[in-house]
């Protein structure tokens, strides 16, 4: 069933204090046109450009998710993103008059409430879902982080935390349906922090707007009455702090028995919004945080970019093992017979690596003169095959690759290992090792039956066609 995009009916605002600055800040949500996506604007900055909420604009992910463009940053956006993504809003402009949105109660619920109150409008453009077809993994052995993405007919999340700390212990949760469970079961989950982390952040001049009303502080060390009084004075609380029997500073009651892991799930939903498209997948996460989420989103984003490439250039279904056929290649490269030296692309990882194939037949025109009676493929044409294959990868880095050309600046470290004969199939692997808007460096290797026949390093300039 075709599902259309949606935005909100009318602008709506919410005010509070920023978690880190403690400054009063107002956030305003505004409707946006189809295919706009989620975009942030700092209204306190003159002529501030819109900052797209996508993985390319993440500038920091240590303790929260920070977006930026042209040295203009906005931090702590994950709760806002979770609210927008969890309500399945596709297009919206988010204006903030500070470098961070208001923290309110430390959850996404206040944003969810105002967005639901203003209502939604269906738009005349279909949603572009990213459906995961194969397993994607991310691991950090040193930190004990594991994340796996499986195929699913809708977004599902399974999350486990284990901090090896008796104050929190091991917690687990599952969200089986974003549309059915997000609003009631996950959006109210508040941010949490261990007491020693709160003290460290305060020493760094951060969390100036933090309080026991907008976060759960888990006590991870013994505290005397004197220390509790000092804490109250240090953080500017008007009344004494009590040590709750539940191990939470101030004795604050949890909204859920496993509220911390539900908030981690909330953070993950906000970070998944950085894909820029709604996701159909089951994401399983263990002990992950914003940094790991960003790395996983980068991996998933590459799958999405591959999907966009095939939908843009590949007009007909391809057999298994073919990513782009010759007709698709002709839409990207300007070369034609007798100088189109790549027949198909079998795989492509955007901005990383491409695998291509050149079938070497006896009908190639160069075999008549190279050499009569002993035909072998000219080495320069093997190099040309690698360069053209690399150009497919390189030109994917631009919005309209058909409007660009790649010119050689240098070819270095060329090695010919074995001759290539009629009937051989060149399997070409090209890796992008450095990219700039006007130039790049690539390493190419060509194989026949898994044996290396040629390798070279390319420098190319990118110009308008």
Q: How far apart are CA 379 and CA 456, in angstroms?
A: 11
- Whether residue 311 contacts residue 300, with contact meaning beta carbons closer than 8 Å, is answered with no
The DSSP result for 138-196, as a single string, is: EEETTTTEEEEEEE-SS-EEEEEEE-S-TTT-EEEEEES-HHHHIIIIITTPPPEEEHH
Which pair of tokens denotes residue 412? 């270095």
Q: How far apart are CA 423 and CA 412, in angstroms?
A: 28
Q: How far apart are CA 24 and CA 6, in angstroms?
A: 30
Among residues 20, 263, 290, 293, the one annotated as catalytic is 290
Give 138's Cβ-side CA count (13 Å radius): 21
How many Cβ atoms from other residues are within 10 Å of residue 282's Cβ? 20
Residue 335 phi, psi dihedral angles, 5° rounding: -70, 150
Residue for token pair 């599952």: 174
On the 0-12 / 13-18 / 19+ scale of CB atoms within 10 A, 267 is buried
How many Cβ atoms from other residues are within 10 Å of residue 246's Cβ? 12
Which pair of tokens denotes residue 381? 């044409």
On the 0-12 / 13-18 / 19+ scale of CB atoms within 10 A, 147 is buried
Residue for token pair 């397993």: 135
Question: Of 317, 146, 462, whose CA–CA distance to 325 is shortest?
Answer: 317
290 given a catalytic annotation: yes
How many Cβ atoms from other residues are within 10 Å of residue 233's Cβ? 11
How many Cβ atoms from other residues are within 10 Å of residue 151's Cβ? 12
The percent helix, strand, coil of the chain (3-state, each to 5) is 25, 35, 40
Among residues 57, 73, 335, 370, the one annotated as catalytic is 370
370 given a catalytic annotation: yes
Residue for token pair 């969200």: 175
The set of residues, in sequence order, having a beta carbon less than 8 Å from that of 317 and lying 6+ positions away, is none
**Enzyme catalytic residues:** 290, 370
């Amino acid at each position: 069933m075709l599902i259309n995009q949606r935005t909100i009916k009318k602008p709506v605002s919410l005010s509070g204090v920023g978690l880190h600055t403690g400054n009063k800040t107002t956030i305003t949500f505004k409707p946006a046109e189809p295919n706009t996506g989620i975009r942030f604007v700092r209204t306190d900055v003159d002529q501030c450009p819109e900052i797209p909420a996508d993985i390319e604009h993440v500038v920091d992910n240590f303790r929260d998710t920070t977006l930026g463009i042209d040295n203009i940053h906005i931090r702590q956006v994950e709760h806002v993103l979770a609210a927008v993504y969890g309500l399945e809003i596709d297009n919206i402009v988010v204006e903030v008059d500070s470098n961070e949105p208001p923290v309110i109660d430390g959850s996404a619920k206040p944003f969810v409430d105002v967005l639901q109150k203003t209502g939604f409008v269906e738009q005349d453009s279909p949603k572009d879902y990213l459906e995961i077809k194969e397993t994607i993994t991310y691991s950090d052995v040193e930190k004990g982080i594991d994340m796996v993405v499986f195929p699913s007919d809708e977004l599902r999340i399974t999350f486990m935390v284990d901090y090896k700390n008796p104050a929190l212990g091991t917690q687990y949760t599952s969200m089986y349906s974003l549309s059915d469970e997000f609003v009631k079961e996950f959006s109210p989950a508040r941010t949490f922090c261990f007491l020693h982390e709160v003290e460290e952040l305060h020493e760094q001049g951060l969390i100036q707007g933090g309080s026991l009303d907008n976060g759960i502080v888990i006590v991870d060390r013994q505290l005397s009455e004197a220390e509790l009084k000092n804490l109250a004075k240090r953080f500017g609380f008007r009344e004494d702090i009590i040590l709750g029997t539940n191990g939470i500073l101030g004795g604050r009651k949890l909204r859920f028995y496993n509220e911390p892991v539900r908030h981690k799930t909330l953070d993950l939903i906000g970070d998944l919004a950085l894909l820029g498209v709604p996701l159909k997948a089951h994401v399983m996460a263990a002990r992950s945080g914003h940094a790991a989420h960003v790395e996983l989103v980068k991996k998933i984003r590459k799958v999405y970019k591959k999907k966009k490439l095939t939908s843009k250039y590949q007009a007909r279904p391809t057999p298994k093992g073919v990513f782009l056929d010759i007709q698709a290649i002709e839409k990207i490269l300007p070369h034609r017979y007798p100088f189109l030296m790549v027949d198909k692309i079998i795989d492509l990882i955007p901005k990383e690596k491409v695998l291509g194939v050149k079938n070497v037949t006896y009908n190639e025109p160069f075999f008549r003169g190279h050499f009569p009676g002993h035909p072998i493929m000219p080495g320069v044409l093997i190099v040309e095959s690698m360069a053209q294959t690399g150009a497919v990868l390189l030109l994917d880095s631009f919005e309209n690759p058909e409007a660009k050309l790649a010119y050689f600046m240098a070819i270095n470290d060329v090695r010919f290992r074995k001759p290539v004969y009629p009937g051989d199939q060149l399997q070409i692997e090209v890796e992008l090792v450095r990219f700039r808007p006007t130039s790049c460096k690539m390493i190419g290797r060509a194989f026949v039956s898994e044996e290396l026949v040629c390798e070279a390093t390319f420098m190319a300039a990118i110009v308008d066609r």
